[in-house]
Every structure is written in structure tokens, then in C-alpha cells.
């Protein structure tokens, strides 16, 4: 099973390595690279998503899942919220998170470390512009008070309920 490498287009994007998902016998995930879902499809889903489901872990080990607003930009999901919310306190204690989009058929799942970040002014303006275009209210202040970012380490996805294009992406 060989990994697929995305071409380097010279832009400031992470290098993406795609491979088939491994699953128990009987799942219809592809066995080779030829049928894998393209990362560009997943990025379109991430850009267009209205809600992002964030999964964190409570200090006592219980899972916690909540829907959040956010924007996908430059290889990261940027999301905002009060630092005293349950999910933000969980991230402060354990930054390992997953993000899942709303669909159970056209699936994108991200895994990685959430960071509390303050952006530069230019990126902050782009995030706010995308946020306001999507939601029209409650703009974050990424270059001032900061916000959270998840730059995935691994992602999984498939675009049909038949699972025939399931892919796993690693970023480097």
C-alpha cells in the first residue's frame, strides 16, 4: 500500500500524504490509492461548513462534544469561544481534539492539537472577513484577544455512504 503525495504547488500549504483507510473485513474502503477521496474535496467541505463538532476530553476522562462556529483557512480550523466554557477548559488541560463536520455521509474528521493563538493583523482580517461572510455576527478578534486553531495532524474522510472512496490524510 503506497502513500500518495500531493504535488508541491509552491503555496504555503502543508504537504498531504493520502492512504486508504484500514478497516475490518467487509467495509468497502478502497484497497489501493486509485479510488481515494481527494483532499481538495475535504477542504471544500471544511471551507463551506457552518458548524464544526469539536470533541475534547474532560479532566476525569469523559468525552465532551460541542458544535462551534469557525473558519477553515490556510490549513487550519479557527474557532472562538469564551475560555471558561467546558470545551475551552478541556483544551487548556488536554489540547488533543477531533473536529467532525455535520454529515455522516460526506465525512471529514480532523485530529490534532488545538492551540490558543493570536494571529498577525493580515491573517486576522482574513479570518474575520470569512467569519462575517459565513455568520454575519459575533466576529472574533484573532489579532487582538486571539482564538483557537486546529492544524490537523491526521484526517479521515469519505464522500458516499458506500464508503468506496475512504481516505486517511497525514500532514507534514
Answer yes or no: is pLDDT of 140 > 70: yes
Answer yes or no: is pLDDT of 43 > 60: yes
Sign of CA dihedral 69, 108, 119, 125: negative
Top pLDDT among 98 and 33 is at: 98
Give the confidence band of 128 by pLDDT, cuts at 50, 70, 90: very high
Q: Which of 83, 100, 94 is nearest to 148 (CA)?
A: 83
Contact between 55 and 129 under an 8 Å Cβ cutoff? The reply is no
pTM: 0.88
Burial classification of residue 27, based on how many CB atoms lie within 10 Å of its CB (0-12 exposed, 13-18 middle, 19 or more buried): exposed
Tell me the pLDDT of the chain averaged across its residues. 90
What pLDDT does residue 154 have? 98
Give the confidence band of 52 by pLDDT, cuts at 50, 70, 90: very high
Give the confidence band of 1 by pLDDT, cuts at 50, 70, 90: very low
Give all domains of the chain, ordered by start, each with its CATH number. Answer: 34-171 (2.30.110.10)
What pLDDT does residue 4 have? 34
What pLDDT does residue 12 have? 58
Amino acid at each position: 500500500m503506497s502513500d500518495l503525495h500531493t504535488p508541491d504547488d509552491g503555496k504555503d500549504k502543508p504537504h498531504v500524504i493520502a492512504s486508504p483507510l484500514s478497516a475490518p473485513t467487509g467495509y468497502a474502503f478502497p484497497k489501493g490509492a486509485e479510488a481515494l477521496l481527494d483532499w481538495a474535496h475535504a477542504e471544500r467541505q471544511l471551507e463551506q461548513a457552518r458548524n464544526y463538532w469539536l470533541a475534547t476530553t474532560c479532566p476525569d476522562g469523559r468525552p465532551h462534544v460541542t458544535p462551534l462556529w469557525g473558519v477553515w483557512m490556510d490549513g487550519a480550523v479557527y474557532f472562538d469561544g469564551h475560555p471558561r466554557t467546558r470545551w475551552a477548559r478541556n483544551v487548556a488541560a488536554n489540547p488533543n481534539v477531533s473536529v467532525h463536520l455535520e454529515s455522516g455521509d460526506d465525512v471529514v474528521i480532523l485530529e490534532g492539537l488545538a492551540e490558543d493563538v493570536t494571529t498577525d493583523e493580515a491573517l486576522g482580517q482574513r479570518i474575520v472577513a470569512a467569519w462575517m461572510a459565513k455568520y454575519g455576527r459575533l466576529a472574533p478578534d484573532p489579532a487582538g484577544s486571539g482564538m483557537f486553531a486546529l492544524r490537523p495532524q491526521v484526517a479521515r474522510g469519505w464522500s458516499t455512504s458506500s464508503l468506496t472512496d475512504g481516505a486517511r490524510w497525514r500532514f507534514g
